[in-house]
Chain A
Amino acid sequence: MNFFEAENITKHYAGHTALDGVSIEVKEQSIFGLLGPNGAGKTTFIRIINQIIGPDQGEIRIRGEKLHPNHIANIGYLPEERGLYKKMKVGEQAMYLARLKGLSKIDAHLRLKEWFQKFEIENWWNKKVEELSKGMAQKVQFIVTVVHEPSLLIFDEPFSGFDPINAELLKQEILQLSKKGSTILFSTHNMSSVEELCDNIALINQAKVILKGEMNSIKQEYKTNSYQLKIRDLQKEITEILPENFNIKKLSDINDCNSFKVDLPDNVSSNELLQKVMPHGQISSFEEILPTMNEIFIRKVTEAGHAK
């Protein structure tokens, strides 16, 4: 069942179109990646979901219901431009934001204490935000995004500005929340950062969705029949073993262990490649190379450019 549907969302600003007929479906409990370069319209789209701005056309439905102010309590949003009141105490501030999401005083306090314990930051409660380091402030920021246990979580460029340790922590927390039943929407231009997390994606470029679907099937669709081959004790030059129409690229050569990237012609299967190499050395690994989202994206964008 689709948890979230956007149908034909269009938004014009004076002089330019931010979104042009964008339709997206997100399944319940999935992790969805909204990918695209800066200025593609991702943030505008997310702001529409959060009801910060309204679309000119189109409709958004959550669980089949048209978007309604009550849905705000069900959405957790970590914006790209994020921060906290510098002069306010951490605890007070977290309480304030949690209560704005509709939590009662008691609930907010209880849950915040729980999260603070989990992140081992209870002693920050009475500190002012300006006393915290950037990484510490981001932990607080994450807590206030999720404290009201929303069924839809939206992260706009979540990993930008997080140090690697906090980024990993964040990733693990997000995966856990997903397991607990939250539907998650990532928006990022840094595609490699969310590739391993997303089940489904949509690529947005210049206000339009240019590609969407399940991540694996997209990769399958766009794969180029390339393989990575690691072989030890190679007795002959690889170019002598393989026919000329196999495009070979040497990746590394360490301690007799050679690593190659081989692009096969369309009608040749991977087994044929293995049969040809096997007699000449010891195969240590063999793996299909799937295109990264980045590569697919660049391909799609240039294709679109050519089509024009």
Chain B
Amino acid sequence: MNKIFIIIRREYLSRVKKRSFIIMTILGPILMAALFVVPVYLANISDRELKVAVLDETGLFYNEFKGNEKIHYENLYMDYVSALDQFEELGYDALLHIPESSLNNPNAIKLLSTSNVGLNLVNDMESVIQKKLEAHRLALSGIDKKVLEDIEVNVKINTFIWQEGEEKQNYSEISYALGLISGLLIYIFIFLYGAQVMRGVIEEKTSRIVEVIVSSVKPFQLMMGKIVGIAFVGLTQFILWVLLTGVIVLTFQEINPDLFKYKSPDTHIIDNKGLTPSEIANQQDSIDFSQDKANNLLEGIRQIQFGTILLMFLFYFIGGYLLYASLFAAIGSAVDNETDTQQFMLPVTIPLILAIVSLQFVLNNPDGPVAFWMSMIPFTSPIVMMARIPFNPPVALWEIGLSFGMLIIGFVFTTWLASKIYRTGILMYGKKASFRELFKWLRF
């Protein structure tokens, strides 16, 4: 037993001390933090102040455009040609030209600018113009705007889960995202560290040290020592990534506290003046709607049981890794170099790829038969079950228990199988093994 610790220690230390490990460990969180920080940062710096001139020949749109601290709209009362002539002297960043004809042909509206003004600004303008034009046309065709507004409805179905006689609100979008991320992470970890096990075994074989070692310890001990050692490497890297990412993000926040403040879109203060009661109600509705969405997100995130998910993640990561790592070790033992691994890799990777491909079905129907069976089969359960866990209602306890049990049986089985191939394979040199050969080794 003591010897297996010596092996685990070596496998762990020799990898953790590698330059590539240190670089990856530092680079990973920087990349991840960059994923959070850069978009926010970029969004902040790109918002320079803009001055937009509105040249409205229809007279409908003056003062319809509401600016904010970054965007200023100014009405321009001159004809288009002279405006173009004086564009530079006037000092505007952009010129919105709404010709007379645009009442019939909205596509005639033009935005001229000296530089790219960004999609958001254009979108804002479009929606303002659209609303105004719609109202205008309604008036022309004699339909009372009020009638239409009364007819118009905004529907958002709130989904609830009926459980233990209680209503629980459901936030499936969040569960979907979380399930996808968890499943993918498990997939990536299994591949990353499974391949490391395989490469380690091949290294021992090609450097011819393996027989020296197995004269001191049992091949099984060597195999398990390597698998467990690399599992710790994986866990170390994962934990360091999470911690370092946190540190980097927090540091940025400390340096620039405004960075992560959610920038709410300009709050519209409800101005009752000159509005019909139905218009007020309408405005109120749309504000409620967007606030609802934000609240939903927060509530949904609050409802996630991060502790449970983390524990599950650890279990399925370790279980799935053990299951596949031993198979990867067996492959490594059967070949003399990495290029020969192809034919054996295929059957091992197919269930993994299958799990990833079917992840979409599973996420769309987390309690369906595909999801159920794939979360029971140990070869796919780490990915598929992990994707199901964040959903509400939670996966039944008996299902989780059964999946756990199957996974444990699964990795005991693959480890047993792999150790039989491994102990023969590591002592075979210069022989290219076939599947038939591997099958024979099982009986040695």
Contacts and interface: CB of A to CB of B under 8 A. Distances in A.
Contact of B216 (A81, A82, A88, A100): A100
A88 B217 CA distance: 19
Interface stretch (B113-121, B184-192, B203-211, B275-283): B203-211
Interface in B204-228: 204, 207-209, 211-219
B162 to A, nearest CB: 60
Nearest to A129: B207
A99 interface: yes
Chain A contact residues (Cβ within 8 angstroms of B): what range? 20 to 34
A14 B218 CA distance: 22
Contact of B443 (A14, A47, A79, A86): A14
Contact of B215 (A79, A85, A96): A79
Contacts of B212: 77, 79, 82-84, 97, 141, 144
Contacts of A31: none
Chain B contact residues (Cβ within 8 angstroms of A): what range? 20 to 34
Contact of A13 (B14, B219, B444): B444
B6 interface: yes
Given A13-B444, A52-B427, A100-B6, A77 B215 contact: yes
B203 to A, nearest CB: 7
A255 B121 CA distance: 112
A286 B94 CA distance: 117
Contact of B211 (A13, A79, A100): A79
A82 B3 contact: no
Contacts of A47: 427
A81 B213 CA distance: 12
Interface in A106-148: 141, 144
A52 B6 contact: no
Interface in B405-444: 423, 427, 429, 440, 443-444
A94 to B, nearest CB: 11
Interface in A68-82: 72, 75, 77, 79, 81-82
- Interface SS of chain A: helix, strand, loop or mixed? loop
B7 interface: yes
Nearest to B217: A100
Nearest to B2: A102
A141 B215 CA distance: 14
B215 A75 contact: yes
A50 interface: yes
Given A52-B219, A72-B215, A84-B209, A100 B7 contact: yes
Contacts of B204: 85
A13 to B, nearest CB: 7
A87 interface: yes
A97 B213 contact: yes
Contacts of A50: 214-215
Contacts of A85: 14, 203-204, 207, 209
A84 B211 CA distance: 10
A53 to B, nearest CB: 8
Nearest to A14: B440
B220 to A, nearest CB: 12
Given A13-B444, A14-B440, A99-B6, A82 B14 contact: no
Given A14-B440, A81-B429, A88-B14, A100 B213 contact: yes
A291 B203 CA distance: 45
Interface in A18-57: 47, 50-53
Give the one of A83, A100, A102, A141 with max B CB within 10 A: A100
Contacts of B209: 82-85
A101 interface: yes
B10 interface: yes
Given A14-B440, A14-B443, A96-B6, A83 B215 contact: no
Closest 7 CB pairs of A and B: A83-B208, A100-B216, A79-B211, A77-B215, A50-B215, A83-B207, A14-B440
Interface of B: 3, 6-7, 10, 14, 203-204, 207-209, 211-219, 423, 427, 429, 440, 443-444
Given A100-B213, A100-B217, 10 more contacts: A47-B427, A50-B215, A52-B215, A72-B215, A77-B212, A79-B211, A84-B209, A85-B204, A97-B212, A97-B213
23 contacts: A47-B427, A50-B214, A51-B218, A52-B214, A52-B215, A52-B427, A72-B215, A72-B216, A75-B215, A77-B212, A79-B212, A81-B429, A83-B207, A83-B209, A83-B212, A85-B14, A85-B203, A85-B209, A97-B212, A99-B6, A100-B7, A100-B216, A100-B217
